[in-house]
């Protein structure tokens, strides 16, 4: 059983675990939803004895198995003792987004069937805090469409090779920093198209904005130095066994400079042969 082929999907109710497990099914994983935590080691042992017939596994463990959560750390330690490498994927979202999702589906929160949704979310965050701390990958789905979550998961788990898969997230600092970035670049020093009236309503996807951003000497020098740095770092990350890298590129609002640079850097890395997924979080 190779690394990253045993995935435990967990996280907050309403954060997208059902969508995630469908993505893993499409990628050829044998998927089990809501497996009680004490059965994880036994299930893994059975898969090991399948003569390779079951080699890619994804399990959903969440608050529905609340009765067994207290023993989950022990169950995960058993996997470690069995020399079974695994990864924990933790999905979360902001309280406002989770509340809205529950209202849209007209469902009660599993930890607060008779109370408020917000109280259920608070209790769930508390109960899952230790598991979140053990997670290998945390994805905030507050601003993600289902298609974007699919791209994010596929970029990390669909294929394994000697090439690092890369996610580039462009964002605006005024909306907060993405929590799951490995490398974070602040490009607010580059001249801002926001102050050009005809460019203000456009985005970094538009050629006029890209021309304005890239013609500045500061941008050209940054682009050269940053891509040189990446070309040095990426092979060394691969040597250390890293399979996925998330790069955050932020400007003030996430509309102009970060998008233009995210697209450009993504194109450069694709030319180097790396699989790249570019996501514009705030626009």
Q: Among residues 104, 131, 157, which one ends one of the domains?
A: 157
Secondary structure class of 85 (helix, strand, coil)? coil
Q: How many residues does the chain have?
A: 283
Burial of 257 (0-12, 13-18, 19+ CB in 10 A): buried
Asked whether residue 11 falls in the same domain as residue 149, the answer is yes
Q: Supply the pLDDT for residue 63.
A: 79
The CATH number given to whatever domain includes residue 10 is 3.40.50.300
User: Is the confidence at residue 61, as pLDDT, over 60?
Assistant: yes
Q: Are residues 176 and 136 in the same domain?
A: no
CA distances from 117 to 13, 60, 98, 147, 185 (A): 11, 22, 9, 26, 36
Q: What is the pLDDT of residues 81-122, one digit of tens each?
A: 888 888 899 999 999 999 999 888 888 888 877 778 898 899
Domain that residue 273 falls in: 165-280
**Predicted confidence band of residue 68 (pLDDT cuts 50, 70, 90):** low
Q: What kind and span of H or E run contains 168?
A: strand 165-172
Query: How does residue 190 score in pLDDT terms, banded at 50, 70 and 90?
Result: very high
Q: 161 falls in which pLDDT band (50, 70, 90)?
A: very low
Among 157, 184, 210, residue at a domain's last position: 157
Domains of the chain: total: 2
Same domain (yes/no): 25, 73: yes
Answer yes or no: is pLDDT of 42 > 50: yes
Q: What is the DSSP letter of 151?
A: H
- On whether both 42 and 141 belong to a single domain, the answer is yes
Residue 1 domain-assigned? no
> Which of 138, 157, 176 is at the close of a domain?
157
Q: What is the CA radius of gyration of the chain?
A: 21
Q: Which two tokens stand for residue 236?
A: 């060394």
- Shared domain for 187 and 133, answered yes or no, is no
Cα separation, 126 vs 84, whole angstroms:
28
CA distance 162 to 268: 18
Same domain, 138 and 14: yes
Cα separation, 79 vs 91, in Å, equals 22
Residue with tokens 């509309």: 255
Average pLDDT, the chain: 87
Question: Is there a single domain that holds both residue 138 and residue 15?
Answer: yes
């Amino acid at each position: 059983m190779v690394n990253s082929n045993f995935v435990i999907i967990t996280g907050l109710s309403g954060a997208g675990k059902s969508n995630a497990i469908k993505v893993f099914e499409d990628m050829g994983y044998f998927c089990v939803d809501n497996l009680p935590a004490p059965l994880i080691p036994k299930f893994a042992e059975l898969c090991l004895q399948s003569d390779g017939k079951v080699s890619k596994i994804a399990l959903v463990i969440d608050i529905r198995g609340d009765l067994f959560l207290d023993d989950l750390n022990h169950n995960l330690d058993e996997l470690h003792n069995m020399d079974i490498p695994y990864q924990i994927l933790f999905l979360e979202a902001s309280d406002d987004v989770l509340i809205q999702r529950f209202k849209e589906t007209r469902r009660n929160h599993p930890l607060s069937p008779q109370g408020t949704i917000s109280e259920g979310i608070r209790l769930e965050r508390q109960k899952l805090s230790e598991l979140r701390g053990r997670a290998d990958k945390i994805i905030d789905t507050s601003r993600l469409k289902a298609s974007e979550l699919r791209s994010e998961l596929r970029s990390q788990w669909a294929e394994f090779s000697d090439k690092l898969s890369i996610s580039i997230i462009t964002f605006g600092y005024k909306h907060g920093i993405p929590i799951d970035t490995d490398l974070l670049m602040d490009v607010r020093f580059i001249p801002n198209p926001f102050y050009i009236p005809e460019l203000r309503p456009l985005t970094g996807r538009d050629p006029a904005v890209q021309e304005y951003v890239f013609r500045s000497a500061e941008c050209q020098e940054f682009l050269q130095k940053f891509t040189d740095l990446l070309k040095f770092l990426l092979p060394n990350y691969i040597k250390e066994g890293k399979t996925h890298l998330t790069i955050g590129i932020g400007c003030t609002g996430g509309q102009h400079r970060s998008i233009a640079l995210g697209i450009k850097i993504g194109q450069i890395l694709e030319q180097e042969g790396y699989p790249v997924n570019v996501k514009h979080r705030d626009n």
